[in-house]
Structure 1
């Protein structure tokens, strides 16, 4: 809740959070960071299952069955995903509701303080730097909610680069598959019709 005097717009905040997620990624990253507002709860749950839970489960399955690695505790992609979900669940009440608040009493109180007390008890909302606030929020969530230490940042940045390459490869493969299905699908239809 930012107020009227120093408003923080959700679109702006979403863009900054997306930038910061790429600057301070987590070592628990399973997919490329993205931010969307989906108002319908059932649609969000479907999106969440298809875009997060299923890929995390598939990654754990591939790691355990094909690569022979144990996916237990913190090494599990599902555990990493659950931490990300916990972080998004915390902000859901603030992203899905709207309040109209007045801080006139706070302003009046701030004006009554002498200059020394204004320095000591600085609570003027108009002076909040939202960019710094969001940076601290992302770093704090990464450390305290996801238990991802700052020393893991270089490895997380490397993982992010790998995910970008994998995402590009999968996107290209999907386009190529769609192209061939379209071409072959058209030929298949002609072949089936000629048999009839």
Structure 2
């Protein structure tokens, strides 16, 4: 419990995690890392569907229909998405509410220790450097949870650059498509009205 002595705020934490995800990307990266706080439940569900569920479904569809690959179990992007969604749902009560916790008993215990024990059992929350902690957390998750070795970092950084370019191209194509649909849609309406 960090309490008020060395608070770790959610917004700051998600911003640091987003920065570190760009600094230490994984070779398994399929999309650009992002981190958003969306308080409205319905808006979050819409964002989640458009930004996660639909792309995962499309990836599985392309892999199975166009590439002839079987998308079941761990290899399915939709299964991977559902696991991430389950984890998100589990932590939502803790990330969506404010928790006021006291660590006065821990402080009192720490004060009772002699200097040698304080060195041996160092658990003073006020001395935690959250930036270093999160950096170790991201690197550890990358290595031990994703089984992505540190030697893969240069290739992962290159993949991240490619994903950035692809994301920019897709965004530009979407804007261009929307522009042309708007222009052609207006002309189509004028043409239909002139026929009447």
TM-score range, shorter chain: 0.7 to 0.9
- Partner SS for 1:178: helix
Name the CA shift for 1:151/1:65 in 2 (closer, same or farther; >3 Å): farther
Name the CA shift for 1:21/1:150 in 2 (closer, same or farther; >3 Å): same
Using the size of structure 2 for normalisation, the TM-score is 0.84
Q: Is the 8 A contact 1:143 1:150 kept in 2?
A: yes
Name the CA shift for 1:5/1:125 in 2 (closer, same or farther; >3 Å): same
Give the aligned partner of residue 68 of structure 1: 68
In 2, distance between residues paired with 1:72 and 1:132? 38
Query: How many residues are aligned here?
Result: 196
Write the deviation string for residues 136-189 of structure 1: whole angstroms up to 9, x where unpaired: 222233344444444444443333222212211110011111111222222222
In 1, distance between residues paired with 2:28 and 2:72? 13
Name the CA shift for 1:105/1:124 in 2 (closer, same or farther; >3 Å): same
In angstroms, what is the RMSD of aligned CA positions?
2.5
Offset at residue 55 of structure 1 (A): 0.6
Using the size of structure 1 for normalisation, the TM-score is 0.84
Name the CA shift for 1:88/1:155 in 2 (closer, same or farther; >3 Å): farther
Name the CA shift for 1:87/1:136 in 2 (closer, same or farther; >3 Å): farther
Offset at residue 78 of structure 1 (A): 3.0
Write the deviation string for residues 70-91 of structure 1: whole angstroms up to 9, x where unpaired: 4455443334434544554454
- Partner SS for 2:101: coil
